[in-house]
Amino acid sequence: MEVHRPSIVEIKNLNKTYRRGNQVITVLSDITFTIDEGEFLALMGPSGSGKTTLLNLIAGIDKPDSGSVRVGEVEITSLSETELARWRASHVGFIFQFYNLIPVLTAFENVELPLLLTGLSKKERQEHVETALYAVNLSDRMDHYPSQLSGGQQQRVAIARAVVADPTILVADEPTGDLDRVSAREILDLMERLVHELGKTIIMVTHDPRAAEKAHMVRNLEKGVLNNVLS
């Protein structure tokens, strides 16, 4: 019997426009859907379809013109900028295409960064970082700098940084876009493990059909409209 999982993200009647001079451009139009806890969702669609904008709205980086986004028990569209920043720090893990690691910091120090905003002691931070690096199979590289790591290893450090604070959701924007095929497959396998073994919820923007195959569900955006669901 299929077990129903509670929804972790609930999006209702979401609309977003941008102004370009006197022109108003609709980016997202009346988007409504939910994401279940422990789901691996891929957002697909052509360039300019609104995928990254939708991801940013779910992550609390941007605000909609109208509509609502609930993550966990929090209606994030009603939060102030200061409240949003505090909420993101403890509830959202970010995985970017170009890793966004700080070159002068070691892998350990890069992963530790989100924890510096918490009340954890130095010993507790060390334990969290070591656990996260072990989870991505980089325990033997924690003292290496980004320039001493391959692209795939750098992305694994970025994933460790994303999960170290045990966020509510992970958002990934083209996480394999800068990787060769072998490294991309390793990263996708790792993300799949995070879902199946740790129960993480991942929302991933991708152009790559091979990446989307790893997801539980694929939602397609076309000119700002959510037009179909593939599972």
pLDDT, one tens digit per residue, over 66-76 is 999 999 999 99
CA distance 129 to 148: 19
pLDDT, one tens digit per residue, over 3-35 is 557 889 999 999 999 888 888 888 999 999 999
Over range 134-160, report the average pLDDT: 93
Q: Is the pLDDT of residue 175 over 60?
A: yes
From the centroid of its chain, how far is CA 9?
13
Over range 216-228, report the average pLDDT: 84
Beta carbons within 8 Å of 76's beta carbon, 6+ residues apart: 60, 69, 70, 84, 87
Over range 204-221, report the average pLDDT: 89
Over range 143-167, report the average pLDDT: 92
Strand order in the sheet with 66-71: 23-36, 7-20, 66-71, 74-75
CA distance 77 to 67: 8
Q: What is the CA radius of gyration of the chain?
A: 18
Strands 66-71 and 7-20: antiparallel
CA distance 220 to 226: 6
In the prediction, which pLDDT does 1 show?
42
The pTM of the full predicted model, rounded to 2 decimals, is 0.88
Assigned CATH for 38-61+79-230: 3.40.50.300
